[in-house]
Amino acid sequence: MNDCTSLNDYGNLFRLDGKRAVVIGAGGIGHEVVRGLAAHGAHVICVDRDAGTAAEAAEAVGGEALTLDVTDAAAVHDAAAALGEVDVLVLTAAMNVRKRILDYTTEEFRQVTRLNLEATFTVLQAFGRGMVERGTGSIVVFSSIRGLVVEPGQSVYAATKAGAIGLVKTAAVEFGEDGVRVNAIAPGVVETPLTSQIKADEQWYAAYAQKGALGRWARPSELVGAVVYLASDAASFVTGSTLMVDGGWTAVDGRFTPPT
């Protein structure tokens, strides 16, 4: 990229031709991310703890499938070494236990932090090392609006998602001089199997829809553009950022619309 970019080059800003992309968490939002990256020319390696999920995502785009538990640090480092050159790394894997602080168990705390925070660190370390050595790469970590705003029952999840943003910023600073960009995406409420508990409660579902400026939930496909942008040369000077894809959730001050 330079100041003499031609109009033809601008037309290819979002292309990922010849890039090898790894998507960790290939179900739900991750499945749509796989399709979006492939549509822009990337060869995608679909990674998931569930072999069937990884295989299904890979089959949809002619990519590769890899079964991996990202809470197993040694396995993550082995996978990063075995995969070799990776240009784009997207991490979507996460979990939540929705309980108030006084009701949380130590084991539940450990489960959530192990996947959402410890595994994020492991992935950044394992895949970031190779990118730094090659002097190029883009890493995209899925955080959440809960990394910035909270509600009852979201203590540990919110803490891990805020922690993920902190890790992203630090990795961006540490990897940046070697040409590696690291960014986060913070979705709002998204229609996925993981939000089925909320969707099953009409009042709860409606309240969440009304919270955002657009007055509705997101579809998984609506997260794809942000990933492609951050993965591509269109975001060549973007690093250490958290891109809000929340339908205006964090822009709205409460749910009351006053008369004007």
Residues with a known catalytic role: 157
**Length of the chain, in residues:** 260
d(C-alpha 100, C-alpha 121), whole Å: 26
Alpha helices by DSSP H, 135-191: 155-176
Beta strands in the chain (DSSP E): 20-24, 43-48, 64-67, 88-91, 137-142, 180-187, 242-245
> Cα dist. 19→7, 42, 88, 114, 150 in Å?
22, 5, 7, 30, 37
> Cα dist. 247→120, 190, 243, 252 in Å?
25, 10, 12, 10
d(C-alpha 140, C-alpha 126), whole Å: 14
Phi-psi region of 255 (alpha: psi -120 to 50; beta: other; left: phi over 0): alpha
Smallest Cα–Cα separation from 42: which of 66, 58, 56, 28? 58
Q: How far is the first Cα of the chain from the last one, in angstroms, to the nearest whole number? A: 47
**Residue found under tokens 């909320």:** 198
